[in-house]
A = this chain, B = another copy of it.
Amino acid sequence: MKAFYGDLKLGILGGGQLGRMLIQQAINYNVTIKVLDPDPEAPCRKLCDEFTAGSLGDYETVYNFGKTVDLLTIEIEKVNVDALEQLEKEGVVVYPQPRIIRLIQDKGLQKQFFKENDIPTADFQIISSIEQLKQSHIPFPYIQKLRRDGYDGKGVYKVTDEAALDKAFTAPSLVEKLIDFEKEIAVIVARNDNGEVKCFPMVEMEFNPEANLVEFLIAPSMLPFEIHQEAENIAKRIAESLKIVGLLAVEMFLDKHGRILVNELAPRPHNSGHQTIEGNTVSQFEQHLRAIFNQPLGNTDCLNNAIMVNVLGEAGYEGPAVYQGIEKILNKPGVYIHLYGKALTKPFRKMGHVTIVDADREKAIEKARFVQATLKVIA
């Protein structure tokens, strides 16, 4: 591979906010950046050397795009893997490796991988059709997940009783024991081609039981040291089994008995690592670049308590986005805004995020609640 600075052409499949933040960091390395995304108005469109509007799922489009770069990476895993495998054969470096993207695209294969590699995960069964599901007599309640194309909570269905089966997914899926979990936690791990592996400190999601929603992310987690250690060991074991090059986000549950169960993987920068931009020695975006450029991985220490709040389109509004409350939140020290350059808002669309950094954890949480109550995206 060419030296990563200077004349290296880096291609990114996907031009959303993850690509945007990756580019903000990649600017420091002088690489030529090309982006492919189906949306001609994608957040990255004006921030790269070359933007191509085209389907990420189409073989020809991905192949032709890939032929113009030296190194190809992704910011979304729903891409045409056949094209990536062909590009790899023809000498384009593709990180993460296509075989890993293929595995992670299919939640069934992912679960089998966990099982084969002794990675703790909730018990599951693979179901190929609705008939098979109806005949399986799994004790209610349980969770049904589509094997493919689930995203941001879509493709997940809670089967509470016999009647609920009528609305169950008909496509190939897996069913999973409902976990009575205490916390959602996540570890982002990076591996480079030299085999160096480094984790970011474990983070936890703060759950709002009233709204039944993840409210925000806290880094580092305040759970006991043993939990950190175990979660990071699991993440490292997965990265090493896969021999991934790049970032791997490992989402996990901590159940009421203190057991960690891996939920799912994302082989790319991830929502659970945005706070690393201000909160850690290197950010997840810098680390992904170092990993795919096969450079020494950066120190991942937390500089401070950091809380990440997603900025979502307000329910009931759709159209050109209007932001309310920015001045008020910038008035607080240690509050950082990241807007994603999306012209149109719709309910719950991810329009940006805010990171709050404070040496005093309680103050950080207080400010996070203020940000949530104050910053609104309407139309």
A residues in contact (CB < 8 Å) with B: 3, 5-6, 20, 24, 27-30, 33, 46-49, 281, 290, 295-296, 298-299, 303-304, 320-323, 326-327, 330-331, 333-334, 336-341, 357
Contacts and interface: CB of A to CB of B under 8 A. Distances in A.
B299 A330 contact: no
The 7 closest A-B CB pairs, nearest first, are A299-B333, A296-B331, A30-B339, A46-B49, A28-B338, A296-B330, A295-B330
B29 A337 contact: yes
A338 B24 CA distance: 11
Given A281-B334, A339-B29, A327 B49 contact: no
A323 B27 contact: no
Contacts of A28: 336-339
Copy tally for this chain in the complex stands at 2
A33 B333 CA distance: 26
A47 B27 CA distance: 9
Given A28-B339, A30-B340, A296-B327, 6 more contacts: A5-B326, A29-B337, A30-B341, A281-B333, A295-B327, A299-B333
Contact of A46 (B24, B48, B296, B337): B48
A337 B27 CA distance: 10
14 contacts: A6-B322, A20-B27, A24-B27, A28-B336, A28-B337, A46-B47, A46-B48, A295-B327, A295-B330, A296-B327, A296-B331, A298-B330, A299-B333, A299-B334
Nearest to A342: B30
A311 to B, nearest CB: 11
Nearest to A331: B296
A296 B46 CA distance: 28
A48 to B, nearest CB: 7
Nearest to A336: B28
Nearest to A48: B46
Nearest to A294: B327
A299 B359 CA distance: 14
Contact of A27 (B6, B333, B341): B341
A6 B323 contact: yes
Given A20-B27, A341-B30, A333 B295 contact: no
A32 to B, nearest CB: 8
A330 to B, nearest CB: 5
Contacts of A24: 24, 27
A321 B6 contact: yes
A295 B27 contact: no
Nearest to A50: B46
A304 B338 CA distance: 23
A339 B47 CA distance: 16
Contacts of A29: 337, 339
Contact of A3 (B46, B323, B336): B323
A5 B323 CA distance: 8
Nearest to A29: B339
Contact of A333 (B49, B298, B327): B298
Nearest to A32: B46
Contact of A339 (B5, B290, B296, B333): B5
Contacts of A46: 33, 47-49
A43 to B, nearest CB: 9
A6 B344 CA distance: 10
A287 to B, nearest CB: 11
A44 to B, nearest CB: 10
Contacts of A339: 5, 28-30
Contacts of A340: 30
Contacts of A331: 296
